Amino acid sequence: METVLWSQEWWVLGLMSLTVLFMLLFGLFIASYKVLKRSFGWGSPSLGPSYVETSLAAGSSLGAGFPSDYPAVGELIDGDRGKALIKWVNRIFIAIVLQCTTLYLMSQYPGMESPFWLGIVLQGFTYGSAALFYASGQKEIE
């Protein structure tokens, strides 16, 4: 006997809402990447020296000094917009992790039929959102 919610499997609605949250997190990642690109002049030599040129001119290795020499994403955006971006990235990341955990625990109850691949998909959402959270500059914020 399968558990059906609104003429669909119970886990389909959870995966659809996870997809929407992940797309929102990806949109915020793209916004933070555009801010970094605009601030450092990446991809456009007319805007100024790139990080690689600056590092090589200083005689340092490629990854040396990035977190301390350059501002975090929240510092690049003026005032309240930067704080709002940081807050929403944190909130969406936490919502994705909590929802993945809830769906996984629900799938373990007897009688809650779920496909064998649901756990793998939930891990993909969790680790994918963690990678976007990390890459959007959240690791540098105190």
Domain count, the chain: 1
Residue 5, SS3? strand
Query: 30 pLDDT exceeds 70?
Result: yes
Q: Is residue 1 part of a domain?
A: no
Q: Is residue 51 part of a domain?
A: no
Q: Is residue 95 part of a domain?
A: yes
Query: 11 pLDDT exceeds 50?
Result: yes
Pairwise CA distance, residues 81 & 95, whole Å: 21
pLDDT tens track for 17-28 = 999 999 999 998
Q: Is residue 103 part of a domain?
A: yes
Query: pLDDT band at residue 29, thresholds of 50, 70 and 90?
Result: confident
Q: What single string gives the DSSP state of each residue in 8-38?
A: EEHHHHHHHHHHHHHHHHHHHHHHHHHHHHH
Residue 1, both tokens: 């006997």
Task: Kindly state the DSSP code that residue 70 receives in the 8-state scheme.
Answer: S
Q: Is residue 57 part of a domain?
A: no
For residue 85, the enclosing domain spans 7-40+73-140
Query: 142 pLDDT exceeds 70?
Result: no
Q: Is residue 60 part of a domain?
A: no
